């Protein structure tokens, strides 16, 4: 099973993901990505691996693009996206075989998705293919998991409580590379100008327990506990949360809340 196939969710997790993790995490990165790419009036914009559609929605809300399209493999995620913003085109499809003619878009975006594609080079080449001459692409990926303390503490606690393979999906969110490697991949795919920034956002949750609970119910990791009875599931969530909290600097847990830095690479490229 490829990483892309493994990172899929059942019909309930997308609703929780959109309700809790989008406001807490991905909306921050969506705003940052759009600030950097700065869509122009009349642009046609494609959001690849759009999930529940936060980047496409933010793009549409700017009121500049003449066309906004969101594409994702997961039909349940797209159902949420479609229900929230029906005026956007939502298409089920693969980043490795984009269902669009060459030169269809002025801007292509991919937030926190490239790391999941089984062939990143092909995905980047597909972005190049569907862009118009002079077109621009913007994408972001999480850096090494050690650069996001709460995530690193969580995977260590997960492996301690559930076994060493339990954290594989969470670890797959992060790329152990540097900005220069990302720039090199992007240029090799056919982009001419590439700028890769290393960006850190402060992420906030009501508590460590909430962070762990959402990770284990609102992402593909929900499968780890789906066969457990409710009392056992709750016991494990609390145990993992306590273990993860014990691994963090106490300043990140001030007042019972959770605040931690999260690092990503954000690339802007053009043809």
Domain boundaries, the chain: 3-270
Please state the pTM of the whole predicted model: 0.93
Contact 50, 25 (CB under 8 A): no
Task: Give every residue of the chain whose pLDDT is below 70, as ranges.
Answer: 1-11
Coil/strand/helix, residue 136: strand
CATH classification (class only), 3-270: alpha beta
Comparing CA positions, the residue from 254, 162, 156 lying closest to residue 208 is 254
The first and second tokens of residue 162, run together, are 């559930």
Residue 73 Cα distances to 50, 70, 91, 95, 116, angstroms:
9, 11, 8, 8, 12
The first and second tokens of residue 160, run together, are 């301690």
Question: Residue 8: what pLDDT?
Answer: 43
Q: Is 134 left (phi over 0), alpha (psi -120 to 50) or beta?
A: left
Question: Residue 2: what pLDDT?
Answer: 39
Number of helices and strands in the chain (H, E): 11, 7
The stretches of the chain forming alpha helices (DSSP H) are: 3-6, 13-16, 27-37, 54-62, 75-84, 120-130, 149-162, 168-171, 179-188, 208-217, 230-246
């Amino acid at each position: 099973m490829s990483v892309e196939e493994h990172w899929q969710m059942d019909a309930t997790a997308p609703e929780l993901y959109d309700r809790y993790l989008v406001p807490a995490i991905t909306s921050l990165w969506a705003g940052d990505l759009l600030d950097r790419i700065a869509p122009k009036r009349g642009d046609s914009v494609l959001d690849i691996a759009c999930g529940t559609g936060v980047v496409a929605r933010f793009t549409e809300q700017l009121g500049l693009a003449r066309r906004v399209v969101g594409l994702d493999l997961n039909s349940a995620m797209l159902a949420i996206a479609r229900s929230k913003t029906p005026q956007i085109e939502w298409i089920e499809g693969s980043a490795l075989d984009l269902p669009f003619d060459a030169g269809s878009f002025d801007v292509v975006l991919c937030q926190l998705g490239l790391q999941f594609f089984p062939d990143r080079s092909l995905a980047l080449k597909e972005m190049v293919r569907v862009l118009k001459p002079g077109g621009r692409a913007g994408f972001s990926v999480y850096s090494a998991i050690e650069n996001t303390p709460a995530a690193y503490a969580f995977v260590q606690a997960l492996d301690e409580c559930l076994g060493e393979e339990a954290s594989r999906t969470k670890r797959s969110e992060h790329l152990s590379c540097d900005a220069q490697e990302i720039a090199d991949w992007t240029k090799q795919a056919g982009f001419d100008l590439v700028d890769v920034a290393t960006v850190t956002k402060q992420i906030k949750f009501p508590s460590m327990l909430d962070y762990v609970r959402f990770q284990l119910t609102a992402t593909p990791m929900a499968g780890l506990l789906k066969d457990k009875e409710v009392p056992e599931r709750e016991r494990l969530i609390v145990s993992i949360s306590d273990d993860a909290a014990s691994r963090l600097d106490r300043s990140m847990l001030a007042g019972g809340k959770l605040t931690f830095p999260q690092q990503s690479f954000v690339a802007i490229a053009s043809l």
